[in-house]
Structure 1
Amino acid sequence: MQKFITMGEGYREIFELQALIEYNHQRVQHAILTYDDQSNASFLLVMKPVQQDVQAVYTIYNGIRFKDGKSKKYDLIKSWCDEVDINIIEIETKSPTVFHEREQFYQYLTGILRLNHLLLPMT
């Protein structure tokens, strides 16, 4: 079971993300940037499963400006991940703005990530 934990939309939460990467990098399974050409990007930090296949997915939801593969916030996040040898997977997705609720976007992402074997399958 995956649980999306929205940290925020990329302002002060970026430093909480830094602490997660710095102090829990051994628990990080995947770092993922989702982007489209219509809105800001989202960043996901997929943690390794804990008891009974519970898997946390920390998210900065739609809070990273990402144009033409460039972004100062993304460069900062990438530098933190590089320091602890975490590769970032970039995935082009639909814009979160096409969904009526944030939870619908997370369900859409869950499907994409499961198809790409980046999240545990349903049990």
Structure 2
Amino acid sequence: MIQRFIELGEGYADVYELLDLIKYNKERAMRLAVFHTKLNDKKVVSPALIMKKTEMGNFQAIYISTEGIPDLEKPSERLRLIESAADQAGIPIVHLEVQPSVAFGEKELYFQHLVGILRMNHYIAPLSSSY
């Protein structure tokens, strides 16, 4: 199975795109992962919508808004909107602590790291699985 991150960006427009993905793809959405990290001494989160694999092509998309939302004591408005939309759509939410993207030489290595964490926690299928 091919499991690939599709990066949306860090701004408000990207959050709205993630909200629409949740709203219009709730039957295909599997779970929302919220990755917590520290970047330049600031706590930030990266929400990622994990989709079920496609019927054809054995492809699983993971839409992510990378490290653009502050991780505050009280959830920011953007994170609250995303979690609320996932909750209303019946999509489970998981929170995970991860290394920041700057700890990796390339963005692709960072995404491979996240795939490994998701697989290890059984939030996505193992590499050789057919489901």
5+ residue gaps, structure 2, are none
Aligned match of 1:24: 25
Does structure 1 residue 48 correspond to structure 2 residue 52? yes
Say which of 71, 92, 112 aligns to 2:97: 92
**TM-score normalised over the length of structure 2:** 0.86
SS at match of 1:34: strand
Identity %: 35
SS at match of 1:14: helix
How far off is 1:40 after superposition? Answer: 2.0
Aligned match of 1:15: 16
How far off is 1:63 after superposition? Answer: 1.4
SS at match of 2:99: coil
SS at match of 1:42: strand
Q: Distance in 2 between matches of 1:24 and 1:48?
A: 10
Q: Distance in 2 between matches of 1:110 and 1:73?
A: 24
Does structure 1 residue 82 correspond to structure 2 residue 66? no
Cα-Cα RMSD: 1.4
The alignment covers a number of residue pairs equal to 123
Q: Distance in 2 between matches of 1:100 and 1:40?
A: 19
Structure 1 residues 81 and 103, CA gap change in structure 2 (3 angstroms): same
Q: Distance in 2 between matches of 1:69 and 1:87?
A: 20
Aligned match of 1:106: 111
How far off is 1:7 after superposition? Answer: 1.0
Q: Which amino acid aligns with 2:70?
A: R
**TM-score normalised over the length of structure 1:** 0.91
Q: Map Cα deviations across residues 6-47 of structure 1 (whole Å, 9 max, x no partner).
A: 111132111111111111011001110000234421111110
Q: Report the structure, 1 or 2, having the larger helix content.
A: 1
Q: Distance in 2 between matches of 1:118 and 1:13?
A: 23
Structure 1 residues 68 and 37, CA gap change in structure 2 (3 angstroms): farther
